[in-house]
Amino acid sequence: MSSIKEGIHDHLIELQEEIDCIFTAGRNTKVSEVNIGQIYGGMRGVVALACNTSYVDPYSGLHIGDYTTDNFSHKLPEEIFFLLSTGKFPEAESLAEFQNDLNQRAQVPQYVWDVLRNLPRDTHPMTMLSLGILSMENESVFKREYQKGIEKRNYWKYTLEDALNILAKLPSLAAGIYRIRFGNGVLIAHDSKLDWSGNLVHMLGIPDGDKSFADLMRLYLVLHCDHEGGNVSAFTSRVVNSALSDLYYAVSAGLNGLAGPLHGLANQECLQFILKIDEQLSDQVSEEELKAYVLDVLDSGKVIPGYGHAVLRVTDPRFTAFMKFGEENCSNSSCFKIAKKLFSVVPDILKNYKEGKIANPYPNVDAMSGSLLHHFGLKQFDYYTVLFGVSRVMGFCAQNILAQGLGQPIIRPKSVTNKWVLENLAVKKK
């Protein structure tokens, strides 16, 4: 048994023991109430899911297992996937074994490239990524074994096989999409001597003399890996897999959710905002000029991209990690300097704007990430969400592996009609 499979097996036993304790303590205990505003408001704030890979604390940010951003931001993506799936970081020997396994699975089938090359020239890169993964669905190990007949307790093992096959091919697939869509179409071969994120940079073909871009990509893929279970992309992926649609379907579906402008496009909107400031005011803009500019934007009824978060009530620690990287590697970058200056003025403005009604005036991860990608020569905005997707697939896969290992059922919440709501309101008012 491989180290990651053994680790997941042990982790599932731990999680099941916790669930058994929870059920013994009070299976029918109420943990959340739903009001009508939440029924019509996207279920915001309704506690109705269990996610054992990550959670977001309003004051300490993203946690993966027992670790905060400060504890894992220096790690490799391979180590992060191991953590998401097993609850522990791999030992050196287990990491090497896992990386070797991914290398053995990294070859993207030729038919995938044939499909992608025959799409219209202006096809969106996210469409290409989703379609590229979906085109490989016939190779699903889970589907093949399920058709033979397997016990439910073994579903997770074949879900893991699909996850490893998808993850192994992601750097080649994502880089190939970049080369086809924005380059000359010539693919760069996978290098088994490089790690997962290093290979992505290598195959993109963007110059990286001092390896700073490779380190940025490592950091980017680590910081975007997972974000609880209720966000659009993770929830979509989980719902699809809960029907026992294999991971190829589930990952493709999750990526389709991530492609939406309210979910995965935030960092490019932040970058466009920064580039507009650079064009109009330059990176030498004073704080007073920047304050006036920000107030004009707010007074026009618009928001400041990259500021605010549905859960966080402090500066996103992922933003802080990117800020530290920028200080160390590209402090003279125009975009970085403007992003840094915005951080120095925007929170105070938002705290006091119109009687301080903004719940979280602090920056999230998107306020900085696009500026760093732009500095290193990745200037095709439509591609940014692909990188987000490559990272977030780690979370999709880990969440579904654990859910299948814990025997979680199909997700099927109850929906109601307006008539039902009106009738219940009338009853409650009597």
The amino acid sitting at 267 is N
Q: How far is CA 10 from the centre of its chain?
A: 25
Name the 3-class secondary structure at 321.
helix
Task: In whole angstroms, give the CA distance from residue 430 to residue 426.
Answer: 7
The closest alpha carbon to 290, from 279, 281, 299, belongs to 281
| Dihedral, 330, 334, 339, 345 alpha carbons, nearest 10 | 120
Q: From the CB of residue 290, how many other CB atoms can be counted at a distance below 10 Å?
A: 19
Pairing of strands 61-64, 54-57: antiparallel
Task: In whole angstroms, give the CA distance from residue 303 to residue 326.
Answer: 24
Which residue carries 């400031």 as its tokens? 277
Active site residues: 263, 309, 366
Query: Residue 205 is encoded by which pair of tokens?
Result: 């073909």
The CA angle 286-335-263, to the nearest 5 degrees, is 115
The closest alpha carbon to 271, from 392, 122, 382, belongs to 382
Task: In whole angstroms, give the CA distance from residue 41 to residue 346.
Answer: 28
The closest alpha carbon to 390, from 114, 176, 211, belongs to 176
Task: Tell me whether residue 221 is exposed, middle or buried, using C-beta atoms within 10 angstroms of its C-beta: 0 to 12, 13 to 18, 19 or more.
Answer: buried
Under DSSP, the state recorded for 363 is B
Task: In whole angstroms, give the CA distance from residue 380 to residue 286.
Answer: 29
Task: In whole angstroms, give the CA distance from residue 156 to residue 237.
Answer: 15
The closest alpha carbon to 214, from 379, 64, 365, 373, belongs to 373
Strand partners, 64: 54, 67
The closest alpha carbon to 231, from 207, 263, 261, belongs to 263
Task: In whole angstroms, give the CA distance from residue 67 to residue 54.
Answer: 9
